[in-house]
Every structure is written in structure tokens, then in C-alpha cells.
Amino acid sequence: MQDALVAAAIAARENAHATFSKFKVGAAVQDVTGRIHTGCNVENATYGLTVCAERVAIFKAISEGARKFTRVAVVADTDNLTPPCGACRQILWEFCGDVEIVLSNLQGKTETMKLGTLFPRAFDASFL
């Protein structure tokens, strides 16, 4: 049986606007109430203004009033599971802390880890 969070990320991936790279990514974040918020990557011709799926999901959740999160799923159509980029790791750390990250692909391969494993010695407000 497929995890609901991963299924939501797979569905969100279909909405990706990946006109330039053709690299569609979907993400889903679950808040402490169990609600799932989704996001997909949205590219721009300048690339620098592109927003990754993980950040879209977090920003969307924040805009809908969610403040505490339990899990994040990231899905791409790759053989090697695709982790969040550095910018997404920073945003995830600041809004989610050492949350569970589920990486998955369209063939059903998954790997689960804590964000701290992907992002050791993260910078956050505790340093300010």
C-alpha cells in the first residue's frame, strides 16, 4: 500500500511547470493535524527565479496556517532517489526542524531519513 504522503507528492508532480529542464518534482508536507500540503516545481526562463517543489509545499502550508510539521515526501522520476537541494534543506530545517524525509520515485522505491542526516550542522535562528 502506498503512503498517502508519497501519493500526494506524486499527484503534485503532475502539475509541475518544468518547461526548460523537463525535471518534474512533487513534494508533500504533513502538518501535526495530519493535513497534507503539496507543491511542485515551477520553473522560469531565468532559472534563478525557479521555485522547487519542497519550498512551494512549505510556503503553501504556511500560507494556509500550518506551523508544525511531521513528515515531508519528495518524488521525482529518477532511478537514484532525489533529495532536496541546499536551499530547500535550509527552508525545511527552519520550518520543520529534524523532520522525517521520505524520498521516492515513480517505481515505488523509497528511502526514509531524518533531515539532520541530509543537513548536518544546519544554520537556524539559534545562531542569531
Is 54 annotated in the active site?
yes
Catalytic residue among 14, 54, 94, 111: 54
Q: How confident is the model at residue 100 (pLDDT cuts 50, 70, 90)?
A: very high
Q: How confident is the model at residue 114 (pLDDT cuts 50, 70, 90)?
A: very high
pLDDT at 2 (0 to 100): 67
In this predicted model, what pLDDT tens digit does every residue of 14-65 receive, in sequence order? 999 999 999 999 999 999 999 999 999 999 999 899 999 999 999 999 999 9
User: Is 4-123 CATH 3.40.50.300?
Assistant: no
Buried b (16+ CB within 10 A) or exposed e, 12-38: bbeebebeeeeebbbbbbbbeeeebbb
pLDDT at 43 (0 to 100): 97
**C-beta separation of 61 from 37 below 8 A:** yes
CA 42-22-69 angle, to 5 degrees, is: 45
Alpha-helical regions (H) of 1-128: 4-13, 53-63, 86-96, 115-118
pLDDT at 68 (0 to 100): 97
Beta 25-31 vs 69-76: how paired, if at all?
antiparallel
pLDDT at 1 (0 to 100): 57
Name 72's bridge partners. 29, 101
